[in-house]
């Protein structure tokens, strides 16, 4: 007897949207689809929803890099009335494929694409049920189904069963980041930062998350003013004279400005996926031979840069220190101003810096070896090699650098290097935090942790029954907390376990994947993961529809 396969997605952000898009493109049989979303609306995702993000916050992905859904982002933007674009902070006359747009604009794009996908699904005979304000509080594997325990908007608990479940719960941040007076575990939701009074604010981090925090605070206590010559200045609001921010990181470096690069990526010639797969198949140590291939590719791509830094004679650690050395010896705002001018000029003439582009293309190749590194190699990769790749690909919009420079000129922002040996004390009666680093003590009336999402171990997994069943477990049991390698999953994003039927569960929850996939980059990774999981789901649907199971998605009262 045939049956209708049932699929549930937990979470309704870009990862679910891209997976659903790929699934609808590849499946012929009908199935039932249920999507659970804890928020009041589905289809935006945490990084792009109002309230969580300030309207001034920019995404750090150019429109040309965003994989299309029912429309490309450019086509969608051109189809919007000018009034809607202006309300989203988009200049209707400045739409371009290499433009960076506000996070809220991307949120509206994803919301509209999600609605279009649901319409297409229904037209294809798929039963669709989107449940907002519903939180999945537990998940468990049963012989013929996944059982989800769902808390509805009224607070009632109910069990529901599905043949296939995709966990796409995204980042894990507290809804209220202020865990102690004046001390914030994250810069989101941005609305939580609005209550920080004008005073001394410490921000741990100097990359995009920290820039988000700085921008949200800045537009609370003043405004950015476009000048007639195209420059940008910052003006404090009356009563905000005491407002000052200090961003801090180990090296005290700002991210670099987005650089011009051909897309899609041009192929590599030496440090290739095939070369990495050959190293993995050789079943030996991986990091040193992989670095040697990296070195050869960089020398071939940009001989002048390679000679200038002396990479031919550098080991991995020395290269990674040399990569940052000139910036570390230069005032971060002086470097930012010079780098921004270079990046803007290169965009105007469409020139690509060869060494930057080579490193950009190699980060995805080097990621292939990460699941196979032993503990010591993983430590070295994470401490030394990974920061080089992250610095190279996690460049930021030119406007973001202009804002940081404007804040510094207005004496509202400094950047501080704190090294490896520092201490933050947030348990103060007066609130905020004290930072002790480099033999000095710095007191802040408010302190924001803005270092981005870190890999999480299995103990933080939000569905306890899967832990109790042993289906979700650490990829490297016994690892130090700051060296978590996430949970054990395979290349198709199934939990690695003999105790769960094939294709019953997929985990696409970012914090638990970072150990295996250290360079997950938001939207592009959502698309790539969606293609993998959609292929698995399409095959499972075809098998189920042929009579491979006997379970219905029945709701059971708790």
476-497 pLDDT, tens digit per residue, is 765 554 557 899 999 999 999 9
What is the band of 553 on the pLDDT scale with cuts at 50, 70, 90? very low
Dihedral pair phi/psi, residue 161, rounded to 5°: -120, 140
Beta strands in 275-355 (DSSP E): none
Q: What is the mean predicted confidence (pLDDT) over 22-49?
A: 94
State the average pLDDT over residues 216-224.
Answer: 97
**Could you give the maximum distance between any two Cα atoms of the chain, in Å?**
74
State mean pLDDT over 388-408. 97
Give SS3 for 462: coil
pLDDT at 555 over 50: no
**Is the pLDDT score of 239 beyond 80?**
yes
In this prediction, residue 547 carries a pLDDT of 56
Q: How far is CA 300 from CA 8, 262, 267, 323, in A?
A: 48, 18, 13, 17
CA terminus-to-terminus distance, the chain: 30
267 pLDDT band, cuts 50/70/90, is: very high
Which pLDDT score, from 0 to 100, does residue 483 have? 56
- The model's pTM is 0.93
Q: How far is CA 67 from CA 7, 63, 74, 492, 526, in A?
A: 24, 9, 11, 20, 10
Give the per-residue pLDDT at 478.
Answer: 53
Distance, in Å, from the CA atom of 30 to the CA atom of 373, rounded to the nearest integer, reads 42
CB atoms within 10 A of CB 119: 12
**Average of per-residue pLDDT values in the chain:** 93
Confidence of residue 272 (pLDDT cuts 50, 70, 90): very high
Q: What is the mean pLDDT of residues 296-307?
A: 98
Kindly state the percentage of the chain with pLDDT values over 70. Answer: 96
Classify 178-252+413-448 by CATH class: alpha beta
- Looking at residue 554, its pLDDT comes to 42
C-alpha pair distances (Å), 15 with each of 22, 115, 167, 169: 11, 15, 10, 9
- Specify the range with the lowest mean pLDDT, choosing from 71-85, 121-135, 469-483, 488-502: 469-483
- Mean pLDDT over 324-330 rounds to 96
Residue 456: DSSP 8-state: -
Q: Helix count (H) and strand count (E) of the chain?
A: 16, 20
**396: Cα within 13 Å, side-chain hemisphere:** 22
| C-alpha to C-alpha distance for 89 and 535, rounded to whole angstroms | 37
What pLDDT does 283 receive? 84
Cβ–Cβ contacts within 10 Å for residue 537, how many? 26
| DSSP labels, 506-546 | EE--GGGTTTTSTT--THHHHHHHHHHHHHHHHHHHHHHHT
Per-residue confidence band for 452, with pLDDT thresholds at 50, 70 and 90: confident
Alpha helices in 44-102 (DSSP H): 73-79, 82-87
Give φ, ψ of 139 to 5 degrees: -145, 140
HEC-encoded secondary structure of 227-271? CCCCCEEEEECCCCCCCEEEEEECCCCCCCECCCCCCCCCCCCCC
- Domain range summary for the chain, segments of one domain joined by +: 178-252+413-448, 273-393
For 166-213, the pLDDT digits (tens) are 999 987 777 789 999 999 999 989 999 999 999 999 999 999 999 999
pLDDT, tens only, 204-218: 999 999 999 999 999
Q: Is the pLDDT of residue 521 over 80?
A: no
State the pLDDT at residue 2: 61
Across the beta sheet with 440-444, the strand order is 422-425, 433-437, 440-444
Q: Tell me how far apart the alpha carbons of residues 180 and 360 are, in angstroms, rounded to a whole number.
A: 39
3-state SS track over 167-194: ECCCCCCCCCCEEECCEECCCCCHHHHH
Contact 514, 378 (CB under 8 A): no
Region 30-57 average pLDDT: 93
Residues 369-392: b if buried by 16+ CB within 10 A, e if exposed: bbbebeeebbebbbebbbbbbbbb
Residue 295: enclosing H or E segment and its boundaries? helix 287-301
Residues near 359 by beta carbon (within 8 Å), at least 6 away in sequence: 298, 388, 389, 392
Q: What is the DSSP-derived secondary structure letter of residue 50? A: B
| φ, ψ (nearest 5 deg) of residue 492 | -100, 10
234 falls in which pLDDT band (50, 70, 90)? Answer: very high
Q: What percent of the chain is predicted at pLDDT more than 90?
A: 86
Q: For 442-446, which contacts have Cβ atoms below 8 Å and span 24 or more sequence positions?
A: 442/202, 442/246, 442/416, 443/200, 444/182, 444/200, 444/201, 444/202, 444/246, 445/182, 445/197, 445/199, 445/200, 445/201, 446/182, 446/183, 446/184, 446/196, 446/197, 446/199, 446/200, 446/201, 446/202
Question: 289-292: long-range contacts (C-beta < 8 A, 24 or more apart)?
Answer: 290/366, 290/369, 291/315, 291/316, 291/319, 291/385
Q: What pLDDT shows up at residue 558?
A: 26
């Amino acid at each position: 007897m045939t049956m209708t396969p049932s699929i549930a997605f937990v979470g309704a952000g870009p990862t679910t949207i891209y997976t659903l898009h790929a699934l609808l493109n590849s499946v012929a049989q009908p199935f039932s689809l249920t999507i659970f979303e804890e928020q009041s609306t589905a289809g935006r995702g945490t990084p792009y929803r109002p309230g969580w993000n300030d309207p001034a916050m920019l995404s750090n992905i150019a429109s040309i890099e965003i994989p299309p859904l029912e429309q490309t982002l450019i086509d969608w933007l051109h189809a919007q009335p000018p009034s809607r674009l202006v309300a989203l902070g988009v200049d209707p006359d400045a739409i371009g494929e290499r433009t960076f747009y506000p996070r809220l604009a991307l949120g509206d794009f994803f919301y509209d694409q999600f609605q279009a996908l649901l319409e297409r699904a229904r037209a294809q005979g798929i039963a669709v049920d989107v449940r907002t304000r519903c939180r999945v509080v537990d998940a468990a594997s049963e012989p013929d189904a996944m059982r989800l325990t769902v808390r509805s908007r009224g607070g009632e608990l109910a069990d529901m069963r599905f043949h296939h479940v995709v966990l796409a719960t995204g980042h894990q941040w507290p809804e209220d980041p202020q865990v102690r007076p004046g001390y914030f575990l994250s810069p989101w939701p941005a609305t939580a930062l609005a209550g920080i009074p004008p005073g001394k604010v410490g921000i741990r981090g100097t990359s995009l998350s920290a820039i988000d925090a700085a921008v949200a605070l800045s537009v609370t206590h003043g405004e950015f003013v476009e000048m007639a010559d195209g420059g940008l200045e910052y003006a404090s609001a009356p009563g905000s004279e005491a407002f000052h921010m200090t961003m801090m990181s180990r090296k005290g470096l700002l991210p670099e400005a987005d650089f011009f690069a051909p897309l899609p990526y041009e192929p590599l010639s030496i440090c290739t996926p095939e070369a990495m797969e050959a190293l993995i198949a050789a079943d030996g140590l991986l990091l040193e031979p992989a670095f040697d291939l990296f070195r050869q590719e960089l020398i071939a791509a940009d001989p002048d840069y390679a000679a200038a830094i002396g990479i031919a004679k550098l080991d991995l650690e020395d290269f990674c220190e040399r990569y940052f050395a000139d910036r570390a010896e230069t005032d971060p705002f002086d470097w930012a101003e010079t780098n921004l001018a270079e990046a803007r000029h290169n965009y105007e003439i469409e020139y690509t810096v060869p060494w930057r582009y080579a490193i950009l293309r190699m980060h995805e190749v080097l990621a292939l070896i990460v699941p196979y590194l032993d503990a010591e190699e993983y430590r070295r990769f994470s401490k030394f090699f990974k920061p080089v790749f992250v610095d190279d690909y996690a460049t930021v919009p030119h406007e973001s650098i202009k804002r940081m420079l404007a804040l510094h000129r207005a004496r509202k922002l400094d950047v501080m290097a704190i090294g490896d040996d520092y201490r933050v004390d947030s348990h103060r009666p007066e609130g905020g935090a004290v930072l002790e680093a480099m033999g000095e003590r710095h007191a802040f009336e408010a302190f924001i942790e803005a270092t981005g999402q870190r890999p999480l171990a299995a103990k933080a997994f939000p569905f306890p029954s899967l832990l109790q069943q042993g289906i979700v477990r650490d990829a490297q049991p016994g690892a130090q907390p700051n060296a978590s390698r996430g949970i054990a999953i395979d290349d198709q994003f199934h939990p690695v376990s003999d105790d769960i039927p094939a294709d019953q569960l997929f985990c696409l929850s970012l914090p638990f994947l970072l150990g295996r996939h250290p360079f997950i980059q938001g939207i592009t990774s959502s698309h790539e993961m969606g293609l993998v999981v959609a292929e698995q789901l399409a095959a499972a649907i075809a098998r189920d529809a042929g009579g491979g199971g006997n379970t219905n998605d029945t709701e059971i009262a708790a």
